[in-house]
Structure 1
Amino acid sequence: MFKRWLAFGLLSSHSRLHGNVSYRVPWAFGDEAVDVTRKFTRLKHRLMPYLYGVAAEAHRTGVPVMRPMLLEFPGDAACRGLDRQYMLGPDLLVAPVFSAEGEVEFYLPAGTWTHLLTGETVEGPCWRHEVHGFDSLPLYVRPGALLPWGADDKRPDGDWLDALTLLTGADLGEGACTVPGPDGEPAAVFRAVREGDGVRVRAEGTRRPFTVREAAAGVEELLLHP
């Protein structure tokens, strides 16, 4: 279960490897555990422009980084009793895998959801049953999201506007995202509008170059070949 908990822990607001009665480092659990740790650590680093912005929002408003489904979808009665999945900020749905076989069941609200790693799209509302290896789990981008994706997978801090990529979720009509600076204050705001088969993005607060990429392209290869 160490490898399963790694994915869950690294897709949480706080991620630490420690224990009060045992030595819990990845290499103590084998080479595969090291690979899983590396992949999800890189993923979290690339998500830091988004996650740090969500943390700054939590500081300002009290809305938590890890959110029960009902908080984001109060009108969806199916979200009332969900306790094995959550929203990581407003735009990422996480369903941790707790079974040894990798089986997991979870719910997607209405709209077209995009698996961040693979780019697979699923139309909600629906219940899903999936089977995942240790290096994956249900991680879906919300319909209409504009998700900032950092270029640096080596460390959690840094200049997040450097070679920034904006990932567009399915069903994007108009969307916006804020990239914070080290102090948590907005460093730049990006506003996107769907125009035909393309997306027009206006940047406020920066003139630095950035890339726009559909989340449906998936980010798996970006993590394997940084």
Structure 2
Amino acid sequence: MKHESVETNAGLLIILTLAVISVGGLVEIVPLFYIDDTIEEVDGVRPYTPLEQRGRDIFVREGCYTCHSQMVRPFRDEMLRYGHYSLAAESQYDHPFQWGSKRTGPDLARVGGKYSNEWQVQHLIDPQSLVPESIMPGYPWLAETPLDYSDIDRRMVALKRVGVPYSLTEEEYEANVERFGEEHARMFDIRDAEDNLVRQAQAGNFDGNPGTVTEMDAMVAYLQVLGTMVDFSEYDDGHFAEFR
């Protein structure tokens, strides 16, 4: 069959197009019926604490995702620069997730613990003071704006409805103790969300100002947890390849 025949016959072109789309769809869909889960089996991944979640909300609000992806792709050059490639399991509690390929700035999937709290604060206030070639704008108001956490319990309830295992009952709390440990289970208890948020902010003193809980506290708390939940040294090389 000549290609010209396909291009000049609308009916034939539609039929062949539908056939190609159908085959492509089957290739993508059929394997899903033969696997138990699309999430890797990995220890350590947990929901965000109330403070970290508010930081993530601010990260999204300020549009940081438009310049920074959170997805290390499984290519040698990316893993040499950023670390182990991203796992689906690491984003299972993200709504919405921050994957993508737009990188005006570096990928942030594994930025947690790479720099000190002080570095993160200064970088957010005046990026060029630490990275002269950076084109990132400053966000000095984060250090001056008190964090609004009056609705943190409602935010957590909304996330719970889409599958994040925050607890509202004693039974759910005990399930989280067994799954994540008592320390984290306390942080995931919606009934004490505000107290837990303030407690973590004061203990971490992320913005260097222990007198108040600011948006900077939340933002830095979020950045410092990115990529830190999975200890990849516990897994053999190639362990996660079977899930790809």
The TM-score, its normalising length taken from structure 1, stands at 0.29
Higher strand content, 1 or 2: 1
Structure with more helix by fraction: 2
User: Which of structures 1 and 2 has the bigger CA Rg?
Assistant: 2
TM-score normalised over the length of structure 2: 0.27
